[in-house]
Amino acid sequence: MGIGEYEIISDTYKSIPVEYYVEKKYAPYAKDIFGDTPEMLAFFSKITGIEYPWSKYAQIVGRDYISGAMENTTAVIHGEQAYQMPGQLIDENRHESTIAHEAFHHWFGNIVTTESWSNLTVNESFANYSEYLWLEHKYGKEEADAHLFKDTKAYKDGQNYDKHLVRFYYADKEDMFDAVSYNKGGAILHMLRNYLGDAAFYEGLHKYLTDNQYGTGEAHQFRLALESVSGKDLNWFFNQWYFNSGHPKLAVSYDYNKLRKTVTVNLYQTQNKEFKFPLAIDVFEGGKRTRHKVFVEGKDASFTFPYTKQPNLIQVNADGVLLCDINENKVLNDYIYQLQYAQNFAHKREAILEVAKKQDQKEAFNAIANALDDNFYKIRILALENINLINKFSKRNVIKKIESIAKNDPKTLVQAAAIETLGKLTEPELQPVFEKGLQSKSFAVLGKSLVAMYYVNKDLAIQKSKTLPLEVKKIIATPLTRIYLEENDDDELNFIAGNVMSGMFLSPNKKIQMLYKQAYEKISKSNNSEAIQNLTDDIVAKGIQYKQYNFNTVGINMLRQMIQMQKSSNPSNKVKNIEIIKTAMAKLID
């Protein structure tokens, strides 16, 4: 049940009503946020071979909803992060993948739901992978691969290596809602689709859903459905990916036989358990790419391929499908070539980060500069974030190119990255670029332009920031916080205080986390009782909201640290401030 002063925005899928329940303020933008829903329902109906089976599809946005979103059949709830203004939506709809995720749950989760928490994968892994499928359908493979890379990185960065996808033992059901059930599970489905081919994979989805419709399912039933339509034994795949843990860690080396004109690719699995898997290996000769598909069995495997002339690059896991770690000895020229010719997002990203380390060498700098023209906007952003313009006088042509990107790139997120890069130069002659950015409809461009302007015309940047509506200031809180902290603007501590907890704990960006940690410490030492009240109120609110994740304990510790910082800094309002902090602490202890 959702109660509030909602505007109901009506849409349709075929003859089925599709409705978006949003607060009146967001009614003009509801279709910009949720408007792809009918196309999602059509796409998911097509790939599963099962038409959306219910009489309506509604989505409602609720405040203080901690689970992100929930796939209640025909009445999906989304957290308030779904709300976005036009200045955000022009950059990207950051909630689009979640909207797709919850829609696909109407097949995997609602038509057939998990037999037990242990088999949560048949709900959440599919919903996770639907995000890839939707992005691939709507925007192309590069966008989907970039999303997959982010998901698999989150799985690898967590404490997840020893967890089985299907787990029969867990301390609490909430433990199942992790990066294995979601991110790793989605990556496993991607491997399965690649191994079987689209036709068999989608027919298998159809059979699993049809055989178990309006009932429950588990991983073995999914396996049997795929085996039935493909004629393949998949026990080996499910045993190692569903009923076991970890992923391959490959040490790669190459042996060239110049007489026979062959290259042997040696693969050694360094992890304890042994995996077997299909693998794509690309051999590059000049601009020509030859793909070899092999099947790895055993910890130590070798594959020999012919070549016409000495290969420029050997790319292992060339399609980026295998969930694995790869350790190989590549040199700068390898990465420069990889940046230019590799097709998978993860490989291009890896190449940019490696080449960027050697930009004191002209060929490395030129390779990053050339990547500014890449067809995929996220590679252009990476190149902008990593290009080294310190010796700016010898790099004027590239700087001019970045100026053009800042003004003209079709993607506002690329424009914003270009402005941030130019801002590091602190060149007054770039002020017209930043002034243009301050007029942008894009909040990303506006925020980066404010910071860049601050270092060339401080007064103008601060004047502009003071004229922004509060709702815009909240959205671009991070660049404003950076300015206000550097300016030692205590008048803005009240505004900063309301963003500290989200910045420290909800942002995945470590630089942003550190910025707000700095803000937390500044407020904690300050004499500003109102800012301390705002910060403690938010600590209490987040502590209660995320209590199931022990965030109340985190909040109590933060409040104790605030008391110590008040005592050490000894401001004139110390007694009042400490009383505010202790009152907040009592709310969390209760």
CATH topology of domain 249-329: Immunoglobulin-like (2.60.40)
In the sheet with 75-79, reading across from the earlier edge strand, the strands are 6-13, 16-23, 57-62, 75-79, 69-70
In the chain, how many H helices and how many E strands? 27, 14
3-class DSSP state for residue 152? helix
Amino acid at 229: V
Can you point out the beta strands (E) in 238-312? 249-257, 262-269, 277-285, 288-296, 300-306
Number of C-beta neighbours around residue 302 at 10 A: 12
CATH superfamily of the 6-241 domain = Neutral Protease Domain 2 (1.10.390.10)
Q: CB–CB of 9/31 below 8 Å?
A: yes
Tokens standing for 229?
Answer: 């339509």
pLDDT at 527: 94
Q: CB–CB of 83/240 below 8 Å?
A: no
Q: CB–CB of 94/34 below 8 Å?
A: no
Tokens standing for 201?
Answer: 């994979």
3-class DSSP state for residue 460? helix
> What's the N-to-C CA distance of the chain in angstroms?
28
| Residue 340, CA distances (Å) to 205, 260, 291, 401 in order | 37, 28, 17, 19
pLDDT at 546: 83
Number of C-beta neighbours around residue 557 at 10 A: 11
Domain ranges of the chain: 6-241, 249-329, 491-590
pLDDT at 393: 66
Q: Residue 504: phi, psi to the nearest 5?
A: -70, -35
Angle at 383 (CA atoms; ends 380, 385), nearest 5 degrees: 110
Query: Which residues of the chain, if any, have pLDDT below 50?
Result: none
* Residues 566, 573: Cα–Cα separation, whole Å: 9
Q: CB–CB of 308/284 below 8 Å?
A: no
pLDDT at 471: 86
Give 392-459 as a DSSP string: GGG-HHHHHHHHHHHHH-SSHHHHHHHHHHHHTT--GGGHHHHHHHHT-S-HHHHHHHHHHHHTT-HH
3-class DSSP state for residue 275? coil
DSSP 161: T
* Residues 4, 148: Cα–Cα separation, whole Å: 36
CA nearest neighbour of 320 among 165, 161, 150: 150
